[in-house]
Amino acid sequence: MTSDATLSQRLTNGIRTALGVIGIIAVILGVLILVAPLKTASIITAIIALYAIAAGAIYAGVGIFAKTATVWSRIGHIVLGVVFVVAGIVAFANLGGVTTGLAVITAILIGVSWIFEGIIAFTTLRAAANKVWASVFAVLSIVAGIIVIAAPFSFAALLWLILGVSLIVLGILQVVRAFTYRSGEAAILVGESAPRL
């Protein structure tokens, strides 16, 4: 029978390994984003396209083979599957265009959400504890949203670079955490009291 101390040590080693691997992957992705932002974005779009094709095949399979489902449910699953597969194939056929399109759509959605957030802040101004700060927030949110919508590609590129830097920094911190992770932290997870230092 495995003792709590052995279980705690195994858990600690597993957590250290997982933290280290996750950190290294984050650093690699961050470096790839900074060194080759367009290629990295295309690779991520390709992964999304592969997911769409796989999900489409699954949906279509459910529609074809789910004999107990209603006719409309089966038809819906098949149609959804075909849509996913076609979307994935179209994405692969024009990877650069789809990558750019996804970036622009994401930026526009963020811009629109900021505008709505500002409008909502204005509508709740009467109940705000500090009307000046609420007004400043509302104005800045609306202005930022308009700027993003006016230049969505520039905003998407900036977000992509921020993501790259963030991944590198967080990945390095995760690797450091892997090396400094103590067995006492894992002992808490298995219900053993942590050793006192």
Cβ–Cβ < 8 Å for 153, 107: yes
pTM, full prediction: 0.66
**90 falls within a domain:** yes
**Residues near 179 by beta carbon (within 8 Å), at least 6 away in sequence:** 16, 20
- How many structural domains is the chain composed of? 1
**122 falls within a domain:** yes
**Residues near 170 by beta carbon (within 8 Å), at least 6 away in sequence:** 23, 26
d(CA 48, CA 51): 5
Mean pLDDT of 158-182: 89
CB count within 10 Å of CB 77 equals 20
Domain coverage including residue 128: 4-189
**123 falls within a domain:** yes
Q: Over the stretch 8-53, which tens digit does the pLDDT of each residue have?
A: 778 778 888 888 899 899 999 999 999 998 899 899 899 999 999 9
**194 falls within a domain:** no
